[in-house]
Amino acid sequence: MEGAIKKVYLVVFFLYFASLQLWNNILSKDYSKIQYIIFGVYVIFIFTYFLKSIFSKNRYSTILYVLILIMILYYIFVITNGIEFGNPARMAIGINQYILYSVSFFVPIVILYKELNLKSIEKIFAILLIINFITSVLAAYEYSTGKYIINQNQDIGEIYITGVNMVRAKVFNGSYLSLGGFIGQLAILNLYFLLSNKYKRLKIVFVISFFVDILGIVSTNSRGPFVATGIAISVFFIIYYIYIMGRKQTIYKKICVIILAFFVLILILLGLSYLTSYTGNVNNQVLNYLIYRAKSIFDWNSDGSNLLRKYYWISFINLFRRNFLYGIGISSTGALVDTVSIGPTESGVLKRFVELGIFGAAIYYLFVCIVFVSVFRCLNKLKDNYEKKIVIITLFSAVFCLFINDITYQIFENFQVMFFNWFIYGMLVVMLFKKEKLD
């Protein structure tokens, strides 16, 4: 009975957060009241199991206890920071962004700890990929038709080339940048099934799923998520080669792979060089637009959005220098410019340092560093457990995708993205530190 309740809880909140803005649109004026009830159930369920885990017979590893304590310390610092600066509106939003958005981290640890094994993780991956596939298809629909599914999203993307006016897909997210990050992170999960030995007959399904997800990212016209996803995929295959393929190969094969990778890198660099120097036009306006967007990734001297991003970075770095220790207060920067924010930092990393100061940001990145270092220590210790290795590599690459995205966009302000990101963090931590066998 308890196991069935957990499954229902998980699926319901997966579907809820995957379509967050849809519920906002359907419920309209009554949404805020209903939202409090939904969030209350969500948090109370986690808190109940958290208390239960304290008195249970299950004993976590020492490092897992340390990570939990760091998260609690981080929450205490955030609340203290909010009280210190005495702005109730900022404090309310800041507690949401820094605390409520991240509590899904505890779901795998305190609710699913007993049940979480390789089979259950595969089922969770499959559910997330179905959600991502549907989201990507809807994103492609918005992009190709120029029509938003939710009426509240009706604003047209910027005109970059004369005569081309492209809609940037948002689907159920509300932000094309955040949607790109959401799709990109979950797209990484396809790689597990593509490389797992258990799903050889279904590989074509996951190949299609992967390319539909990439189309979904393209449909958002967001450069940051596209680059972050590309980097995360590259990191996945590098780690996969080092810890799985490389250990089975002779020195001769390793040298061949390194040489091949070197030539592929040269070809990529040559392609990028040609792209950035290309000044012509193609007959297709949409393709011409996409080429322009790709070129603009490397244009930091004349591209308007990149220049604005540089301006914000310099301005907020200077602000951080003047408020080095404790920052300027939670939620004092970000997208909510008309309410509590003095402006967007255009970087989640910079946002944390500006708002929390060196102390608060150090607590957060201490957590990240411990998890990332533990990934490689665990992979070194594992010998022949192929499935566990590839699950860890997949989960790490997924959170690393958002880690990269967070450098150039304050993506942790988005509840939908952070719910799934922190849930994946929780699964990764359980895989790393669970003492019982996961098979």
Confidence of residue 282 (pLDDT cuts 50, 70, 90): low
Its pTM surpasses 0.85: yes
The 10s digit of each residue's pLDDT in 54-100 is 776 667 788 999 999 999 999 999 999 999 988 888 998 999 999 99
Percentage with pLDDT > 90 across the chain = 39
Q: Is 352 left (phi over 0), alpha (psi -120 to 50) or beta?
A: alpha
pLDDT at 395 over 90: yes
Contacts of 2 (CB under 8 A, 6+ apart): none
pLDDT at 293 over 70: no
What the block records as the tokens of 46 is 């986690």
Residue that is written with structure tokens 């409090």 in the block: 36
What the block records as the tokens of 359 is 């102390």
Query: How far is residue 272's CA from residue 263's CA, in Å, rounded to a whole number?
Result: 14
Confidence of residue 113 (pLDDT cuts 50, 70, 90): confident
- Range name among 303-307, 311-315, 327-331, 358-362 with the lowest pLDDT average: 303-307
Helix boundaries (H) for 188-346: 190-195, 203-219, 223-240, 251-277, 285-296, 304-322
What pLDDT does 270 receive? 58
Other C-beta atoms closer than 10 Å to the C-beta of 400 total 20
The 10s digit of each residue's pLDDT in 408-425 is 898 988 999 999 999 999
What pLDDT does 324 receive? 87
Residue that is written with structure tokens 């109370």 in the block: 44
